[in-house]
Amino acid sequence: MAKKKKLVRREWTKENIKELKAHSKARTPVAKIAKETKRTPGALRQKALNLGIGLGHQR
């Protein structure tokens, strides 16, 4: 059997949210934000959706 990775949930701080909004304005790719913040692209997109901001590249 494959070893299952332990799920780690981290709270969103005010600083994290401010950073996410700045990336949204700068249209930074989601993959790059994910590496910087050590969060999954899905988590970033979900938080952006809850905040009502766009994330990454929009057409």
* pLDDT tens track for 21-46: 999 999 999 999 999 999 999 999 99
| Per-residue confidence (pLDDT) for residue 58, from 0 to 100 | 63
Residues 6+ apart with CB under 8 A from 33: 20, 23, 39, 44, 55, 56
- Mean pLDDT within 14-22: 95
Confidence class for position 19, pLDDT limits 50, 70, 90: very high
Place of tokens 């590496």: 35
Say how far apart CA 20 and CA 39 lie, in whole Å: 11
Confidence class for position 4, pLDDT limits 50, 70, 90: confident
56 versus 21: the higher-pLDDT residue is: 21
Q: Which tokens hold the place of 18?
A: 């401010």
